């Protein structure tokens, strides 16, 4: 009888222990913070976002700028406050289709570069502090942003990626965070200039995440929300062109060597 009681007690402890460990590990969803520059930039990794949401990862998308200067040859919108407002609504629509939490900041498209040093620098510094607050609040397990290529060489892409990197390296984070940059393998790019502007040698892109046709379709359904940028026929073309990169999102992890050296050579 005593033995029996002990067994029940032990089993109870095991149950509590297992339950407890569930509560503090498996049951807590992993968190991804994706940080990009403009409304529609999320498209870069949208199939991955869809996949992660499906896997019950808590995905928060930060879009830094208002996209007020986003005029192109596909549509005839005028740059300014009106376009910024339209793009805010479009971004809400896309986030809803993707199933991600959205933080849409209202920094100016091109980060006030046109205002020179005195306009641009304080604007970017404010952005850095605001992004840092977001990282502290969300406490993500992983962050994805642009690398030095910014995919299109756009200065906002490169500055947002650089700002996130600066925040990441500026302190020891209580909870470990891993930082990843979106990348395109050079061998998948045919244009010679583009290989230099945005290609990456494949050996750097050690995180290669496959996605399926459903993730792909939903990603392009979300892109349809950005009507001020892409009419449906253009979305169709972009969707076709993207196929040449295959059903994989390539990422480069930011890592520091673990050993200290005392000489360069
Ligand atoms: Zn962009």
65 CA → ligand 1 middle, Å: 9
Q: What is the pTM of this model?
A: 0.88
67 CA → ligand 1 middle, Å: 8
Domain presence at residue 258:
no
Domain presence at residue 188:
yes
The total domain count for the chain is 1
Residue 130 belongs to domain spanning: 29-253
Domain presence at residue 104:
yes
Assess contact for 124 and 164: CB atoms under 8 A. no
150 CA → ligand 1 middle, Å: 9
Domain presence at residue 7:
no
247 CA → ligand 1 middle, Å: 22
Domain presence at residue 46:
yes
Domain presence at residue 22:
no
* Per-residue tens of pLDDT for the chain, all 265 residues: 444 454 555 554 444 444 444 444 567 899 999 999 999 999 999 999 999 999 999 999 999 999 999 888 888 888 999 999 999 999 999 999 999 999 999 999 999 999 999 999 999 999 999 999 999 999 999 999 999 999 999 999 999 999 999 999 999 999 999 999 999 999 999 999 999 999 999 999 999 999 999 999 999 999 999 999 999 999 999 999 998 899 999 999 999 999 999 999 9
Q: What is the CATH classification number for the domain harbouring 218?
A: 3.40.50.10320
């Amino acid at each position: 009888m005593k033995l029996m009681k002990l067994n029940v007690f032990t089993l109870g402890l095991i149950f509590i222990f297992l339950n407890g460990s569930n509560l503090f590990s498996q049951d807590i969803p992993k968190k991804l913070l994706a940080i990009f520059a403009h409304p529609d930039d999320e498209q870069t990794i949208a199939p991955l976002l869809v996949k992660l949401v499906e896997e019950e990862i808590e995905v928060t998308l930060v879009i830094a700028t208002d996209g007020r200067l986003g005029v192109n040859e596909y549509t005839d919108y005028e740059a300014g406050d009106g376009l910024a407002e339209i793009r805010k609504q479009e971004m809400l629509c896309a986030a809803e289709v993707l199933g991600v939490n959205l933080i849409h900041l209202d920094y100016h498209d091109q980060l006030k570069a046109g205002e020179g040093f005195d306009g641009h620098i304080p604007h970017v510094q404010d952005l850095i502090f605001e992004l840092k607050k977001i990282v502290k609040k969300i406490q993500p397990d992983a962050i994805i942003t642009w690398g030095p290529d910014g995919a299109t060489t756009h200065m906002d892409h490169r500055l947002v990626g650089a700002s996130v990197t600066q925040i990441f390296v500026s302190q020891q984070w209580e909870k470990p965070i891993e930082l990843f940059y979106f990348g395109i393998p050079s061998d998948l790019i045919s244009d010679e200039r583009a290989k230099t502007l945005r290609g990456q040698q494949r050996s750097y892109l050690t995180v290669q995440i496959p996605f399926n046709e459903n993730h792909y379709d939903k990603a392009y359904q979300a892109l349809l929300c950005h009507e001020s940028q892409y009419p449906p026929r253009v979305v169709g073309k972009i969707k076709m062109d993207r196929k040449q990169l295959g059903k994989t999102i390539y990422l480069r992890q930011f890592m520091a060597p673990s050993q200290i050296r005392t000489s360069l050579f």
